[in-house]
């Protein structure tokens, strides 16, 4: 291969090429195409296998009938309704057909307390047990209920089908040392209460680990996004066993911050059961999540196989041999490399990589000083230039996104066309870096620029490690290869630019892989995030974080050559054309619809109304034009409505007067299947209650009665003092369609999906 000259060094007339920047651009373009192809390929699930595989292996073809029956034959499986009961009956029948497996239906009831809230619940859980030869239990958990009005293919019939096939394959293979219990709980969507019921089952008294399967989408690969940090042996078992590793510690950090508006049964098992375990979930194509669109047509072939083969291998690994000791370094970082290899380590190892990277960087700087005459002042100048380049690479696309969302009033075009956002904002990020190269060329010596890039990557990685953020895992992949190749290239300076571009490949691939997954997770979530502001800048920032590191490498290799300002203008023009296309794209379509929450509200003493709220929190636009809607300060709209036909709130209150310890009030409710009662009152006014749980803590006590009993529910609440206590009581009927809701729904565009509900409310003074 011909060598590419980046700097005219020496006096050899044969050394410089006429247009060295053309070779740099060509090499960079090849690397970009190869990187995108590798990341795209790694995100796709493997090809599904048929029923011809051995009996002890996982087969997507054998699991598919379970998925199809739950979605097409049973349909919505709301906790406590006939649909959920039919699903439980069917699953018990399938599991009873597996030789050697014991099956039981658990009818659980209790009170789950979390923060200032308490759930009084009932749940139907299907359990299957495959006895082992020794002690200990491994739990595989998945909820079989669904949200209202949705077939629930991705959430969570696919995981249930995979788990049933895993149990069949386990039973067909050699007997394991530990007992394996499959827990298919029937009330996750009602507040994680099905999992709370599993905690007390006698089959799980010796539970040593759990694998929870859930979903917020129906395509791609199932991601390992939560794992108990104090049980590093779990991740070690995952790394040793699974054939399709797919894991990301950043997902765990996002859940811990609350930026993802969802929870899973992992929370119950770890916080209330104190069991070590991990959470696996599909997340791509979250547009259909909790909508009627979550059907079989959205399920991607191979998703079942990837999840099933991983769970089967992981269960076999956890259920055989002696249990690893808990002693050891707690895991703070885990991720996969293009779905091929799993990496997991703790804080000490993370700091070890920082120190190792520092040693390598110092060694490379030493080589650059000895061989290329690079000085500290030159590196400092180059570092200043890199910071300006990177800042412009972020500000230009973010500024364009702010213009789209706040000035032009055309936000969220990327919701319907994510690829267009990647092209538009990515081009603007590259243009920003190139403009930086033209405005602030910085140090001309290519070795100094390369050394500054290494110092910058190492410093950012060290700072993120000090902050305890798992995303720091990216930076050893930038610094270690970069330092090695910079040191080698110092022997021949004309190779420094190409060497640094090649050295950036490992770090850039993992950076793009991370941002790819974050965008696939974040963009659908914005449809139900309800922040009330355009989020174009957040999407532009994520795209820029993927593009800027590689663009900086290009800038380092080019320096000020090739008229970067003129090139930046051409690239920026492409980006602006993309932004113009985003401004013209309607944010929603039939595949990626906008979500509206329609609530038929009947509050005692007030006329009935229809409350309309966009789940993305953005203005409703012209969706209610000509309907006489009253727009509230919260952004939701109220429409006049007729009575729902449900009648008065079926609640009775009996005040028993002063007793020992306070005033007693008995609250009774006759709820229909699928209904939920919510009672709110000041916590400091409550001295006790008759429910079998401690009183929650907090300024307000929130009692939720979910999956109501067939007869009457009642509870006795003891109040302090004689002063009146304000109480709010609401009954929610999710999925309930009144005539007003149906009339409005028929008049909405086909790119809008509706979540209907009815609410009856009363405010009292006890």
Number of domains in the chain: 3
Same domain, 294 and 378: no
- Asked whether residue 3 is assigned to any structural domain, the reply reads no
Structural contact between residues 422 and 574, judged by C-beta atoms closer than 8 angstroms = no
What pLDDT does residue 20 have? Answer: 64
Query: In residues, how long is the chain?
Result: 766
- Same domain, yes or no, for 32 and 85? no
Alpha-carbon span 387 to 385, nearest angstrom? 5
* In-domain check, residue 607: no
Same domain as 531, residue 657: no
Could you tell me the mean pLDDT of each successive run of 10 residues in the chain, 766 residues long? 37 45 88 95 94 95 98 96 97 98 97 95 98 95 95 97 98 96 97 96 96 96 93 93 96 77 90 95 95 96 98 96 66 93 93 96 90 85 94 98 96 96 97 92 79 95 94 96 88 78 94 96 93 94 97 84 84 97 95 96 95 94 89 90 93 84 90 95 95 94 95 94 93 95 95 96 94
CB 220 within 8 A of CB 154: no
Q: Residues 6 or more apart from 134 whose CB is under 8 A from it?
A: 177, 178
Looking up residue 709, the CATH number of its domain turns out to be 2.60.40
Q: Which of 535, 561, 584 is the last residue of a domain?
A: 584
Q: Residue 747: inside a domain, yes or no?
A: no
For residues 31 and 112, membership in a common domain is answered with no
Angle, vertex CA 212, rays to CA 211 and CA 213, nearest 5: 120
What is the helix (H) or strand (E) element at residue 145, kind and residue range?
none
Q: How far is Cα 696 from Cα 595, in angstroms, rounded to an integer?
A: 33
Which CATH number fits the domain that encloses residue 145?
3.40.630.10
| 383 and 475 part of one domain | yes
- List of residues 6+ apart from 155 with CB closer than 8 A: 146, 147, 214, 215, 216, 217, 218, 289, 290, 294
Are residues 357 and 316 part of one domain?
no
CA dihedral 344, 238, 45, 84 (to 10 degrees): -120
Predicted local confidence at residue 561, as pLDDT: 66
Cα 340 from Cα 243, distance rounded (Å): 8
The confidence score (pLDDT) of residue 19 equals: 55
Pair (252, 352) in one structural domain: no
CA 691 to chain centroid, in Å, comes to 35
Query: Final residue of a domain: which of 293, 328, 363?
Result: 328
Residues 145 and 276 occupy one common structural domain: yes
Range of the domain at 520: 20-41+347-584
Residue 759 lies in a domain: no
Nearest-angstrom CA–CA distance, 407 and 400: 10
Q: Is there a contact between 678 and 702 (Cβ–Cβ < 8 Å)?
A: yes
| Chain centre to alpha carbon of residue 330 | 23
pLDDT, position 259: 67
User: Taking Cα atoms as reference points, which of 522, 446, 457, 54 lies closest to residue 260?
Assistant: 522
Q: Is residue 663, in this structure, part of any structural domain at all?
A: yes
Task: Please report whether residue 338 resides in a domain.
Answer: no
Whether 352 and 250 map to the same domain: the answer is no
Q: What is the 3-state secondary structure (H, E, C) of 46-72?
A: CCCCCCCCCCCCCCHHHHHHHHHHHHH
- Judge whether 412 lies within some domain: yes
In this structure, the answer to whether residues 393 and 440 fall within a common structural domain is yes
Do residues 279 and 408 share a domain? no
Q: Is residue 755 part of a domain?
A: no
| Residue where one domain finishes, among candidates 584, 608, 636 | 584
b/e map of 336-351 (b: 16 or more CB within 10 Å)?
beebeebbbbbeeebe
Whether 82 and 212 map to the same domain: the answer is: yes
What is the pLDDT at residue 11?
Answer: 37
């Amino acid at each position: 291969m011909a060598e590419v000259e980046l700097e005219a060094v020496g006096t050899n007339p044969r050394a410089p090429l006429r247009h060295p920047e053309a070779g740099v651009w060509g090499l960079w373009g090849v690397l970009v195409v190869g990187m995108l192809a590798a990341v795209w390929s790694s995100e796709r699930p493997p090809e599904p296998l048929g029923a011809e595989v051995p009996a002890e292996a996982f087969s997507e073809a054998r699991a598919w009938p379970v998925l199809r029956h739950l979605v097409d034959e049973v349909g919505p499986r709301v906790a406590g309704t006939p649909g959920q009961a039919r699903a439980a009956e069917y699953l018990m029948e399938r599991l009873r057909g597996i030789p050697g497996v014991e099956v039981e239906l658990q009818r659980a009831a209790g009170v789950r307390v979390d923060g200032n809230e308490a759930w009084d619940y009932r749940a139907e859980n299907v359990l299957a047990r495959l006895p082992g030869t020794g002690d200990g239990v491994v739990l595989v958990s998945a909820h079989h209920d669904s949200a209202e009005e949705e077939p629930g293919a991705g959430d969570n019939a696919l995981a249930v089908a995979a788990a049933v096939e895993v149990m069949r394959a386990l039973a067909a293979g050699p007997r394991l040392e530990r007992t394996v219990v499959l827990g298919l709980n029937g009330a996750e969507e009602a507040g994680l209460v099905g999992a709370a019921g599993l905690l007390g089952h006698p089959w799980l008294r010796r539970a040593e680990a759990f694998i929870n399967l859930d979903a917020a989408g129906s395509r791609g690969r199932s991601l390992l996004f939560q794992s108990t940090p104090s049980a590093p042996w779990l991740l070690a078992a995952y790394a040793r066993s699974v054939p399709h590793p797919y894991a990301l510690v950043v997902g765990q950090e996002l859940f811990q911050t609350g930026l993802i508006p969802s929870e899973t049964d992992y929370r119950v098992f770890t916080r209330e059961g104190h069991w070590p375990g991990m959470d696996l979930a599909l997340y791509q194509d979250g547009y259909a999540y909790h909508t009627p669109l979550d059907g079989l047509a959205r399920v991607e072939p191979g998703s079942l196989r990837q999840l099933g083969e991983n769970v089967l291998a992981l269960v076999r690994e956890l259920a055989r041999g002696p249990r690893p000791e808990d002693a050891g370094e707690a895991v703070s970082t885990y991720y996969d490399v293009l779905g091929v290899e799993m990496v997991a380590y703790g804080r000490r190892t993370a700091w070890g990589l920082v120190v190792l990277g520092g040693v390598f960087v110092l060694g490379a700087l030493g080589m650059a000083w000895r061989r290329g005459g690079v000085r500290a002042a030159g590196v400092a100048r180059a570092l200043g230039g890199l910071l300006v380049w990177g800042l412009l690479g972020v500000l230009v696309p973010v500024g364009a996104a702010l213009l789209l969302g706040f000035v032009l009033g055309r936000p969220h075009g990327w919701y319907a066309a994510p690829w267009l956002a990647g092209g538009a904002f990515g081009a603007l990020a590259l243009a920003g870096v190139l403009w930086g190269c033209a405005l602030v060329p910085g140090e001309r010596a290519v070795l100094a620029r390369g050394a500054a890039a290494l110092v910058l990557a190492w410093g950012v990685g060290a700072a993120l490690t000090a902050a305890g953020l798992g995303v720091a895992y990216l930076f050893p992949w930038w610094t270690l290869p970069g330092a090695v190749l910079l040191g080698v290239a110092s022997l021949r300076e004309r190779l420094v630019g190409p060497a640094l571009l090649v050295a950036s490949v490992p770090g850039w691939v993992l950076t793009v892989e991370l941002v790819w997954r974050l965008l696939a997770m974040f963009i659908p979530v914005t449809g139900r995030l309800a922040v009330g502001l355009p989020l174009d800048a957040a999407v532009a920032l994520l795209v820029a974080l993927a593009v800027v590191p590689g663009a900086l490498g290009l800038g380092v290799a080019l320096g000020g050559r090739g008229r970067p300002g003129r090139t930046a203008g051409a690239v920026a023009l492409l980006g602006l054309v993309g932004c113009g296309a985003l401004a013209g794209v309607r944010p929603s379509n039939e595949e990626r619809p906008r979500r509206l929450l329609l609530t038929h509200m009947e509050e005692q003493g007030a006329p009935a109304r229809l409350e309309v709220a966009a789940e993305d929190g953005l203005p409703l636009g012209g969706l209610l034009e000509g309907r006489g809607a009253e727009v509230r300060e919260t952004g939701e709209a109220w429409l006049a409505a007729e009575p729902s036909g449900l009648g008065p709130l079926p609640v009775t209150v009996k005040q028993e007067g002063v007793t020992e310890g306070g005033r007693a009030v008995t609250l009774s409710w006759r709820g229909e299947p699928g209904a939920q009662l919510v009672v709110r009152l000041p916590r400091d006014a409550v001295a006790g209650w008759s429910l079998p749980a401690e009183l929650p803590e907090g300024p307000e006590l929130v009692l939720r009665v979910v999956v109501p009993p067939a007869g009457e529910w009642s509870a006795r609440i003891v109040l302090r003092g004689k002063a009146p206590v304000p109480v709010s009581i609401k009954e929610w009927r999710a999925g309930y369609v009144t005539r007003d809701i149906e009339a409005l729904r028929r008049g909405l565009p086909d790119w809008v999906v509706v979540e209907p509900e009815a609410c009856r409310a009363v405010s009292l003074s006890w």
